[in-house]
Amino acid sequence: MAQRHVLVVGGGQAFEAAGEPVGNGRATCLALARRGARVVCADRSLQAAQATVALIEAEGGQAWAVQADIAQPDEATAIAGTACRLMGRLDGLVLNAGISDRRPLPEVTADSWDRILNVNSRGHLLCVQAALPLMSPGAAIVFVSSVAALLPLGRNPAYEASKAALGALCRATAMEGHSRDIRANLVLAGLIDTPMGRAAGAARPGRAAGALPFGRQGSAWEIASAIGFLLSDQAAYINAVELPVDGGLCCGIGRPPPTP
């Protein structure tokens, strides 16, 4: 990733409590910077983005914080241009922003449905539309989705639908970028121990109580590793792919957690 210039949308972290694990966006920003990339960290919370940047700079990396709420169309379409001005060019885009209200089907309203999809689906579309014309030939895009796109077990249909929509958007992006050798791929995150995952576990205590792949949840660093691979030249012939990073969860692979 040396000399790559990457925009990570959703690169902050919603929870900063002591003992909280790192989230997917922050882990991705840090992992890319450690591999030599220059990173623009965009988040709806400027404070969260600045905290990520501070961690990168403390390790000698280069990064910039940008405030943007991709639920707002004007803000979603402005991020890529801002990133180009800050870094000089744009070689990579990671779309990690996502929200959930965990409403079961009977409780979903028109407004609650729109609130989720405006961030998790429409916001990603607007970011891509703005970024593609600015991206360098040979650049790469990675969408961060979830196995919730495939499994209804969370009883969270708005979130599940929003994540499923990213698969179609990823394929459309890969088709659109192909003439300029711009690739687009998608990571399907499994049960990952992140602040958002812990909040979901608090609302649904049985979320990670059963058999899990390798007897544990995944970590945000494992998501970040997959994202870094898909952005890199090592994945130069991988395009329009949905890569599960779930330890085999969707195939029913699991074992009980180790006994404390």
Q: Does residue 64 contact residue 86 with C-beta atoms inside 8 Å?
A: yes
Spell out the SS3 assignment of the chain: CCCCEEEEECCCCCCCCCCCCCCHHHHHHHHHHHCCCEEEEEECCHHHHHHHHHHHHHCCCCEEEEECCCCCHHHHHHHHHHHHHHHCCEEEEEECCCCCCCCCHHHCCHHHHHHHHHHHHHHHHHHHHHHHHHEEEEEEEEEEEEHHHCCCCCCCHHHHHHHHHHHHHHHHHHHHHHHHCCEEEEEEECCECCHHHHHHHHHCCCCCCCCEHHHCCECHHHHHHHHHHHHCHHHCCCCCCEEEECCCHHHCCCECCCCC
Maximum Cα–Cα distance across the chain: 53
Q: Does residue 191 contact residue 223 with C-beta atoms inside 8 Å?
A: no
Of these residues, 159, 228, 235, 247, which one is catalytic? 159
Q: 159 catalytic, yes or no?
A: yes
Annotated catalytic sites, by residue? 159
